[in-house]
Structure 1
Amino acid sequence: MIIYILKKIVTFLFIICVLAQISFCLVYFVPQSIFSDLTFIDAYSAFFKQLLQGQFRLMSGETVPFFDTLLTTFELCILALLVALFIGIPLGIFLGLSNINWLNTTIRLGCLIFYSCPIVMLATLVMFYLSSTLPMSMNFDISISVTGSSLLDIILSSRADKLPALWEQLHYLLLPTIILAIQPSIVTIQLVSENVKNTSRQNYIKMAIIRERSPFKILRRHLLPNSIPSTIPQLTYNTTTLLFLTMVIEILFNRVGLGQWVMLAYRNHNYFIISIAILACGTVISLLTLLGEISAIAIYPLRHKEHYA
């Protein structure tokens, strides 16, 4: 298992290195590059020096915080994934085991309707109807942030009102997280229900039903350990869509992150920030995929044998 995890980490680092080379080429060869007065070797060294420091300085003197912006978007992605797992796994298990046809049809129809709704339209409607009860903007200033994550800043701070401040920040993050978690939740429900239904038809599950008296033990010992781990890697394939939706939510809710970053860069034709945004997006997608693979192996270590079959 350790060798498998190390291989995944090495693959992740290789992908980041390739994305960094692509980002450097976009920065160096575009017109009016900040490295235009440097040789290729000096520009290469300066670019990766700024990358390791996590701070990029533009021609205007503005400093672009790479890691802080990346962690801000990554925070919202993680919260949405946690909500999607919290909602999708129980409903998926229920749909996979339930024989109530009308209820299953109702849940699947609701999932289909919400999944087909554009995220921009859904977020706009929610903001219109809940603007008087829930905060619409993010109470977070990245310029004074220590870690780039609003929740981590509050947890690691030494302030006395840590719990009220944490609750207030979660209150700000509640609405965008719920909107962002709709489509991942639906995908989770579909994948979990399909895997649970296929696993429940296997012969070893039928033997467990004969031997075990408690349905809860069958579910806990045999059904879930053989169906849930196979679902987690499949969920990571949807990280590209999740990252795009996160950027859209950041723009709609005026939250600092990759979404605001790319929007300002596109408006000002700033190719430097666009190239760094490509690197940031690739890093988030690769990191979420890596965490999904490691989580699947941690839950069910024998799962990695399928990759060598």
Structure 2
Amino acid sequence: MIVFLLRRLFLLGTVLFGLSVFAFSLGYLFPGDPLQNFSGMRYIDSTLREQLILQYRLDQPYSAQYLAFLGRILQGDWGLSFASQQPLLKEIWQVLPATLELTAYALLLSFMLGVPLGILAAIKPEGTIGKSISGIALVGYSLPIFWWALLLIMFFSVTLGWLPSGGRLGVLYEVPTITGFMLLDILLSDVSYQHAALWDALRHLTLPTLVLATYPTTVMIRFVRDAMLDVWEQNYIKTAKAKGLNRVQVLYRHGLRNALLPVIRQIGLQFSALITLAMLTEVIFSWPGIGRWLIDSIYQRNFPAIQAGLMIISTLVITINMLTEILHTLFNPLARKY
């Protein structure tokens, strides 16, 4: 197990090294002055230019420039945004919690719906319930996320008026930022309208969560169904049936525990997909997350922000996938064996 962990940590370091080299090269691949791309400053006079060249070591070989780039990243000096001329790391910490909050609730919803429905579809796969669940999962998997989002907005927001069509909180409520996670900030605040603000935040969170959770839920249903059917054909399941255990006992004692082990790894894979889908979802619902911030940066040709967004999102996805891989190996003896 120790060897496995060392190998995974080495792989994580190798991937992060490749990511940092690519992010550094973007300073030269983007149009314009590399000094502006690295620093994010719009206007640089001759005196400041000489100072920055020495600081960023642009007069030295690329290897020395890369080491200086890594040093600035580790120190938190990610440059300035072309659009706001504010530190990029500060802007990222302002928008990242909104994306993590939306992604976490979507992943939780997909797990709570996908696992029971997948198990139900696997109990009698040729029955009416099993075929209906599989059909719904296939339809949800094929839905374009932008069309599905607009359809829900037209029905629940425009037609019925039940849910807001965008934003994170109504303009009537002002909640102090403590952690950046809206629901947690509301619970930690001592404002007089705490319950009303919490209800309003939940209403704003409903549609984006439903849209973002659609794809991973359908994948989870199909994955759990296939895993259950595969476990159902194992010899120890047949032995348990021969001992006289009923279907529920066999499912709970033997089938469910073994079928859900691969789900741990699937959670990491779905997190990667959710981060990608969150960019489109945040634009549609005006959700102030890092996905919308990054797309706005692309439109504004804000090259330092694109570079920083690429590094933070890629590092997050790589780390989560590696952690779920390690957890899967810890809980699965067969994975440790191989």
- The two structures have a TM-score, normalised by structure 1, of 0.84
Match of 1:58 in 2: 81
Separation in 1 of the partners of 2:316 and 2:77? 15
Match of 2:313 in 1: 281
Other structure's SS at 1:292 match: helix
Q: Does 2:105 match 1:76?
A: no
Deviating beyond 6 angstroms after TM superposition, the runs of 4 or more aligned structure 1 residues are none
Separation in 1 of the partners of 2:166 and 2:74? 30
The answer (yes or no) to whether the contact 1:70–1:280 under 8 Å persists in 2 is no
Q: Does 2:127 match 1:95?
A: no
The answer (yes or no) to whether the contact 1:138–1:253 under 8 Å persists in 2 is yes
Alpha-carbon offset, residue 273 of structure 1: 1.4
Note the residue ranges of structure 2 that are not aligned, 5 or more in a row.
40-48, 59-63
- Aligned letter for 1:19? L
Q: In the alignment, which of 148, 155, 158 is matched to residue 129 of structure 1?
A: 155
Alpha-carbon offset, residue 231 of structure 1: 3.1
Alpha-carbon offset, residue 180 of structure 1: 0.7
- Aligned letter for 1:133? W
Separation in 2 of the partners of 1:13 and 1:155? 38
Q: Does 2:306 match 1:292?
A: no
Separation in 2 of the partners of 1:147 and 1:259? 19
Alpha-carbon offset, residue 187 of structure 1: 0.4
Match of 2:44 in 1: none
Other structure's SS at 2:164 match: coil
Separation in 1 of the partners of 2:97 and 2:6? 23
Alpha-carbon offset, residue 281 of structure 1: 2.5
Separation in 2 of the partners of 1:258 and 1:54? 19
The answer (yes or no) to whether the contact 2:121–2:131 under 8 Å persists in 1 is no
Match of 2:245 in 1: 213
- Aligned letter for 1:104? G
Alpha-carbon offset, residue 155 of structure 1: 4.7
Separation in 2 of the partners of 1:49 and 1:146? 27
Other structure's SS at 1:147 match: coil
Matched ranges for 1:159-238 at <5 A? 165-211=197-243, 213-238=245-270
* CA deviation map 1:81-116 (0-9, x unaligned): 111110000011111111552332222222222221
The answer (yes or no) to whether the contact 2:280–2:291 under 8 Å persists in 1 is yes
Match of 2:335 in 1: 304
Separation in 1 of the partners of 2:155 and 2:220? 27
Match of 1:248 in 2: 280
Of the structure 1 ranges 197-206 and 33-42, higher mean CA displacement relative to structure 2 is found in 33-42
Matched ranges for 1:139-154 at <5 A? 139=168, 145-154=177-186
Separation in 2 of the partners of 1:295 and 1:23? 29
Alpha-carbon offset, residue 293 of structure 1: 2.2
- Aligned letter for 2:12? F
The answer (yes or no) to whether the contact 2:168–2:205 under 8 Å persists in 1 is no
Of the structure 1 ranges 277-286 and 163-172, higher mean CA displacement relative to structure 2 is found in 163-172
Match of 2:112 in 1: 86
Separation in 1 of the partners of 2:243 and 2:179? 52
The answer (yes or no) to whether the contact 1:76–1:177 under 8 Å persists in 2 is yes
Alpha-carbon offset, residue 23 of structure 1: 1.4
Q: Percent identity?
A: 27
The answer (yes or no) to whether the contact 2:125–2:131 under 8 Å persists in 1 is no
Of the structure 1 ranges 228-237 and 183-192, higher mean CA displacement relative to structure 2 is found in 228-237
Structure with max Cα Rg:
2
Alpha-carbon offset, residue 21 of structure 1: 2.7
Q: Using CA pairs below 8 Å that are at least 6 residues apart, which structure has the higher relative contact order?
A: 1
Alpha-carbon offset, residue 160 of structure 1: 6.9
- The two structures have a TM-score, normalised by structure 2, of 0.78
Indicate how the Cα distance of structure 1 residues 170 and 245 shifts in structure 2: closer, same or farther if over 3 A, else same.
Answer: same
